[in-house]
Amino acid sequence: MDIGSSPEEMRFREECREWLHANVPAEKRPLDAADAIDFDKAWQRRLFDAGWAGINWPTDYGGRGLSIVQQVIWLEEYAKAHAPWIGANFVGINHGGPTLILNASEEQKAYHLPRILKGEAIWCQGFSEPGAGSDLAGIKTRGRIEGDELVVNGSKIWTSFAHVADWQELVLRTEEGSLRHKGLSWVICDIHAPGITVRPIRKMSGLTEFAEVFYDDVRIPLANVVGGLGNGWKVAMSTLSFERGTGFIADQVKQSQEIEELIAKARANGMIKDDRIADQLAQMRAEVAAVRAMTYRNISEVVRTGQPGPEASVIRLFTSELGQRLERMAVLLMGEDIIDFAYGSDDAVGDYLRGFAATIAGGTAQIQRDIIGERLLGLPKSR
């Protein structure tokens, strides 16, 4: 696929650049989720008011109704402009909203999608559980049907932004006795509902970005089920495809910038003369180009089918592991400056520490390899 080469796309790219040049905040986004929530909401509202939120979302729900290619152009220019990470809006914008567009009822779309785009509603993801981790089919949190409600009991863990969220994309077991991927439902959960306890988890970086969530007889209207009772596995697969595919385009653009900055830094401090470092930098530059090519291929698939396929797991795995290699190299190139390290004073060290989560969040590296083996290569199931 040739991204951004038509006259219309070139004009759109220039429009993106001009707006970003004039509007990217000068102040840095706070690192901790609780400290950053006002910043995240204000920046998302600014994007919405200017027409830059939901570029390929339907116009009926506040988007611009443009193409996925124009969405990619926007994300590329966004990263090049060093615009701030959308932070707490990540789940709603990158996979919660797209999942609703693909699977939800008109009433669900009309209520939630505009609020996500405006930054008025923060979403979190309720997939991972203690004892199940990234094994979505191992979910034990249950929803018992009583009248027109689900009564939910169980717990989730590693829930990013749960302590600042308003809504949750919650996957739970709604058929008694069901096993693995059968009998699951994808539900819109009000995170402020009675019976929900959110306990933030502090990471080794000192920051609090995710949490444990406990459900004690939480009542959720059946009207909040997306895609129908028992169809949660199918809906969740679309969520994960968005999360693992188009949701990380900005990260890949950032990686393109990072490798060039690392090469420039190695030249400046003389470490490029070390053949091992030069070889590693060259290898990573080639890998960055490879993952961009895979992403463009995946976008072609989205244009054809309307959603990413299991190939998104290749991109997710490759991007996360490449990111960790880039972050290790950035710390290595700090040389003796690492001795004076104080967290928060150097982005390289903070990125290195945060990078350990990259091959766990959104499905571990092993889960991605299982998907690649089973669904793309046709290998036997690992379990």
120: nearest Cα among 167, 160, 74: 167
Q: How many CB atoms lie within 10 A of CB 109?
A: 19
**Catalytic, out of 76, 169, 243, 311:** 243
**What does DSSP assign to residue 28?**
P
SS3 124: strand
Question: Tokens representing 255?
Answer: 């990686």
Q: Do the beta carbons of residue 188 and residue 112 sit within 8 Å? A: yes
172: nearest Cα among 163, 159, 181: 181
Spatial separation of the C-alpha atoms in residues 235 and 116, rounded to whole Å: 19
Using the structure block, give the residue that is written with the tokens 């689900």: 150
User: Phi first, then psi: what are they for 140, rounded to 5°?
Assistant: -115, -15
| Residue 243 is among the residues annotated as catalytic for this protein | yes
Going 309 to 314 to 317 to 320, the CA torsion angle's sign is negative
Q: How many CB atoms lie within 10 A of CB 164?
A: 24
Beta-strand runs (E) in the chain: 123-126, 142-146, 149-160, 167-173, 184-190, 196-202, 208-221, 225-226
Spatial separation of the C-alpha atoms in residues 90 and 230, rounded to whole Å: 27
Q: Which residues pair with 189 in a beta bridge?
A: 168
* Enzyme catalytic residues: 243
